[in-house]
Chains A and B, each alone.
Chain A
């Protein structure tokens, strides 16, 4: 039984006791704050914020020490950014995580523009998530605010990886649903279905909430309902049914942000979650994992300084927090995912849909 499974059962017991300090199921490490694209909906990083990045990436030696600390708490890791491949030693870092630390699941979230120069890294990964909101290269270029032709490179890269079918690597295309690109999301879905690529999506977030224009759009509701139906019929769609239903009507949900802790580029843990930490209030902040030396000590200091994590927060509907929370709080829904869907498509407790 892996550490994630142990944590899942431990967390269930803690929830029954009313304890909200839960063990992580998967950790997310933001390798670098820098990005080479400038997606117009990006709220966190993006090239326009490169010059004002508040945290700097760690040197490789420090990053390895950080990964060692993260490994104490989780055996599933998501590399994210910015664009993680902008980190100069990313390949070495991924190799260290896979070969030395033996993370069972390694996911890379990338815009894929730099991927052709890093194809070797694929052998260390278990999942590769590439963002694509439309298969119309011109429209995608506008969203990315990139040089003409960038989007075509992304689409070609996805195509090429899908055709090469690397062993033990699951390819996922993640689509941000925005009112402007919503009609094209169906094309992305068709593109993925035709190539056997897993499709994942999340609504565009504005101020930590799904964008208003989406929530009042009949097209959005129709698309999510379509996804639910397709998923029930075995289409390669990532994202559990409870998550998709939640995205439809925005019900409050019990949130357990510590299930997917986010580690920032400088090695600090965003406690209890990124939205609250970014809010700059007294209810959350950063705890530097390298200074603490261990995951347990970092959590002890965080809880002691900022208090217990919230519950049914309602501050965000970000997939990375929603899905683990739903699966942890609803064991029967998780069981249904396990029974109903193949391994790659279900909301496995260590490989949730990316957000």
Chain B
């Protein structure tokens, strides 16, 4: 085990591996410390599920539940392509919105309607109203409330919380969506929930506006996305770790960092592994863990605790993932994923038997189907026993897809630690950025303050590259350029400029 290293990266999720890869490509030999037994963070693979079905034994991977690679994830995909590890992604065909109210279940395809809308951005959501199934889901008050929805979306065009470092303090999605009906609030919260895992009352407005602007508001095709062809661990994380090793980097798993001691020439990092304490000296340290872990580490160390006490980092949310196997497929076949709103316990769903390789092969062979569904809260619901959560999930699925009743053959519930960031923009002196208040200590991750519009996996990647660049610059090495994002559609750009001017003049009037 090395006693000295020029750079130590703490955390081997997408952000940490990205930073380490970019350093290794410049000839450094970063040491990556990962507390878990597997690399990947929210993209890591989980234990295998063994299913005996139709006279055969089938094995399936499990995971946290991150599947989508959106078209604006340009730097992430460019990095994978550069290293020859970009998997052949599975293009999303459509996303379904399922609305439950007692025995009445209504559903409509919404994903394609948004990204293929004939109405240019930012008004492309109006294309939904040309869809009879969508119209059948909404009520007259919902249609009248569309004026308020459009007004809110235009307001979102006037402000870029990330570029302006505007926290929209105290505002939640609920405040931002005044005048909307509960159905429309639930619909938009459903679209955003994978990135912002909370209920509308607690979803930070700055995070929601940043989400809207990055994923959908400025361009119709920003909502175009694909799925990983199998679990994130196997499809991208393990290949990334292999490339890193081949380039001279080293990853140590089950290494839980306990202490950071500031030294004249950098930092001494102490970690626990299998009950033993180890330490190493590094010129530079990059913290690439989830926000709660970074906050805990910085507050626990004398060298950083004083400043860290003032930090307000985004919270993490505990979530649960349910996987259900059926001996038949839902009829008729619909979109491979979607959102559930109304009185459902479940929030998102993915038909893995139409996305993941191993599930498709099983499905083709046996005629079965497999569903993954996510539960994002509230906390008291997540705290319920496994049996209770599973029972709720099965009841929901039986309601949404009655044809699958009595066809369940296996179920698995997985609980995820509070590592799923509830993203929000903080004030510069409270929210850690890539460059921290401490010398030679940098941060990266999807929660890190940065002016880039990127969100979620792309944000982890972009901040990972920026953290690597900060180290490279200090060492006098060449930094990595980042790919820009496509410009907004012309109409959206025009409205963006106009709304920004209006906002500025209103401030002047005040």
Instruction: For B81, give its contact among A212, A249, A279, A313 (CB under 8 Å).
Output: A212
Of A100-108, A144-152, A304-312, the segment with at least 4 beta carbons within 8 Å of chain B is A304-312
In the complex, the answer to whether A206 meets B91 with C-beta atoms within 8 Å is: no
Interface string of A116-153 (1 = CB under 8 A from B): 00000000000000000000000000000000000000
Asked if B357 is at the interface (CB within 8 A of a chain A CB), the reply is yes
In the complex, the answer to whether B360 meets A207 with C-beta atoms within 8 Å is: no
Cα distance A207–B87 in the bound complex, in angstroms? 8
Interface string of A233-269 (1 = CB under 8 A from B): 0000000000000000111111000000000000000
In the complex, the answer to whether A250 meets B74 with C-beta atoms within 8 Å is: yes
Cα distance A215–B112 in the bound complex, in angstroms? 28
Asked if A315 is at the interface (CB within 8 A of a chain B CB), the reply is yes
Cα distance A212–B112 in the bound complex, in angstroms? 29
In the complex, the answer to whether A315 meets B88 with C-beta atoms within 8 Å is: yes
Asked if A275 is at the interface (CB within 8 A of a chain B CB), the reply is yes
Instruction: For A252, give its contact among B81, B84, B221 (CB under 8 Å).
Output: B221
- Given A207-B85, A282-B364, A283-B229, residue A310 in contact with residue B80 (CB < 8 A): no
Which residue of B has the minimal Cβ distance to A216? B481
**Least distance between B428 CB and chain A CB atoms (Å):** 28
**Least distance between B481 CB and chain A CB atoms (Å):** 4
In the complex, the answer to whether B71 meets A312 with C-beta atoms within 8 Å is: yes
In the complex, the answer to whether A314 meets B88 with C-beta atoms within 8 Å is: no
Cα distance A207–B91 in the bound complex, in angstroms? 17
Which residue of B has the minimal Cβ distance to A254? B116
In the complex, the answer to whether A279 meets B483 with C-beta atoms within 8 Å is: no
Q: What chain A residues lie within 8 Å of B484 (beta carbons)?
A: 249
Asked if B361 is at the interface (CB within 8 A of a chain A CB), the reply is yes
Q: What chain A residues lie within 8 Å of B273 (beta carbons)?
A: none
Cα distance A275–B81 in the bound complex, in angstroms? 13
* B:80-96 near A, CB below 8 Å: 80-91, 93
Asked if B193 is at the interface (CB within 8 A of a chain A CB), the reply is no
Asked if A50 is at the interface (CB within 8 A of a chain B CB), the reply is no
Interface string of B67-83 (1 = CB under 8 A from A): 00101001001111111
Q: What chain B residues lie within 8 Å of A313 (beta carbons)?
A: 89, 91, 226
Asked if A96 is at the interface (CB within 8 A of a chain B CB), the reply is no
- Given A252-B221, A283-B229, A314-B226, residue A207 in contact with residue B81 (CB < 8 A): yes
Instruction: For A311, give its contact among B77, B84, B93, B487 (CB under 8 Å).
Output: B93
Q: What chain A residues lie within 8 Å of B77 (beta carbons)?
A: 209, 314
Interface string of B200-227 (1 = CB under 8 A from A): 0000000000000000000001001110
Instruction: For B82, give its contact among A212, A281, A283, A315 (CB under 8 Å).
Output: A212
Asked if B318 is at the interface (CB within 8 A of a chain A CB), the reply is no
Which residue of A has the minimal Cβ distance to B87? A279
Cα distance A311–B90 in the bound complex, in angstroms? 10
Q: What chain A residues lie within 8 Å of B84 (beta carbons)?
A: 206-207
Which residue of B has the minimal Cβ distance to A253? B221
- Given A282-B357, A312-B115, A315-B91, residue A209 in contact with residue B86 (CB < 8 A): yes
Cα distance A254–B118 in the bound complex, in angstroms? 14
Asked if B486 is at the interface (CB within 8 A of a chain A CB), the reply is yes
Q: What chain A residues lie within 8 Å of B79 (beta carbons)?
A: 212
Cα distance A211–B229 in the bound complex, in angstroms? 22
Q: What chain A residues lie within 8 Å of B91 (beta carbons)?
A: 310-315
In the complex, the answer to whether B486 meets A276 with C-beta atoms within 8 Å is: no
Cα distance A310–B85 in the bound complex, in angstroms? 21
Q: What chain B residues lie within 8 Å of A216 (beta carbons)?
A: 481-483
**Least distance between A308 CB and chain B CB atoms (Å):** 7
Q: What chain A residues lie within 8 Å of B360 (beta carbons)?
A: 282-283
Q: What chain B residues lie within 8 Å of A206 (beta carbons)?
A: 81-82, 84
* B:360-385 near A, CB below 8 Å: 360-361, 364
Asked if A156 is at the interface (CB within 8 A of a chain B CB), the reply is no
**Least distance between A203 CB and chain B CB atoms (Å):** 12
Q: What chain B residues lie within 8 Å of A209 (beta carbons)?
A: 77-78, 81, 86
In the complex, the answer to whether A251 meets B93 with C-beta atoms within 8 Å is: no
Q: What chain B residues lie within 8 Å of A250 (beta carbons)?
A: 74, 483, 486
Which residue of A has the minimal Cβ distance to B481? A216
In the complex, the answer to whether B221 meets A276 with C-beta atoms within 8 Å is: no
Q: What chain B residues lie within 8 Å of A275 (beta carbons)?
A: 88
Instruction: For B221, give its contact among A212, A282, A312 (CB under 8 Å).
Output: A312
In the complex, the answer to whether B80 meets A207 with C-beta atoms within 8 Å is: yes
Cα distance A313–B90 in the bound complex, in angstroms? 7
Q: What chain B residues lie within 8 Å of A311 (beta carbons)?
A: 91, 93, 112
Cα distance A64–B224 in the bound complex, in angstroms? 41
- Given A207-B85, A310-B93, A314-B91, residue A281 in contact with residue B229 (CB < 8 A): yes
Q: What chain B residues lie within 8 Å of A249 (beta carbons)?
A: 484, 486-487
Asked if A208 is at the interface (CB within 8 A of a chain B CB), the reply is yes
In the complex, the answer to whether B90 meets A207 with C-beta atoms within 8 Å is: no
In the complex, the answer to whether B88 meets A212 with C-beta atoms within 8 Å is: no
In the complex, the answer to whether B229 meets A252 with C-beta atoms within 8 Å is: no
Interface string of A204-220 (1 = CB under 8 A from B): 00111101100110000
Q: What chain A residues lie within 8 Å of B69 (beta carbons)?
A: 314
* B:33-88 near A, CB below 8 Å: 69, 71, 74, 77-88
Most chain-B Cβ atoms within 10 A of its Cβ — which of A18, A215, A253?
A: A215
Q: What chain A residues lie within 8 Å of B481 (beta carbons)?
A: 216
- Given A207-B80, A215-B78, residue A315 in contact with residue B89 (CB < 8 A): yes
Cα distance A254–B84 in the bound complex, in angstroms? 24
In the complex, given contacts A206-B84, A279-B87, what are 16 additional A-B residue pairs having Cβ atoms less than 8 angstroms apart? A18-B112, A207-B86, A208-B86, A209-B77, A212-B82, A281-B88, A282-B364, A283-B88, A308-B93, A310-B91, A311-B91, A312-B115, A313-B89, A314-B71, A314-B77, A315-B91
30 contacts between A and B (CB under 8 A): A207-B83, A209-B81, A209-B86, A211-B82, A212-B81, A212-B82, A215-B78, A215-B483, A216-B482, A249-B484, A250-B483, A252-B224, A254-B116, A281-B88, A281-B90, A282-B357, A282-B364, A283-B360, A307-B354, A310-B90, A311-B112, A312-B71, A312-B91, A312-B115, A313-B89, A314-B69, A314-B71, A314-B224, A314-B225, A315-B89
Top 4 A-B pairs, shortest CB-CB distance:
A279-B88, A310-B91, A209-B81, A282-B360
What residues make up the interface of A, taking CB atoms closer than 8 Å to B? 18, 206-209, 211-212, 215-216, 249-254, 275-276, 278-279, 281-283, 307-308, 310-315
What residues make up the interface of B, taking CB atoms closer than 8 Å to A? 69, 71, 74, 77-91, 93, 112, 115-116, 221, 224-226, 229, 354, 357, 360-361, 364, 481-484, 486-487
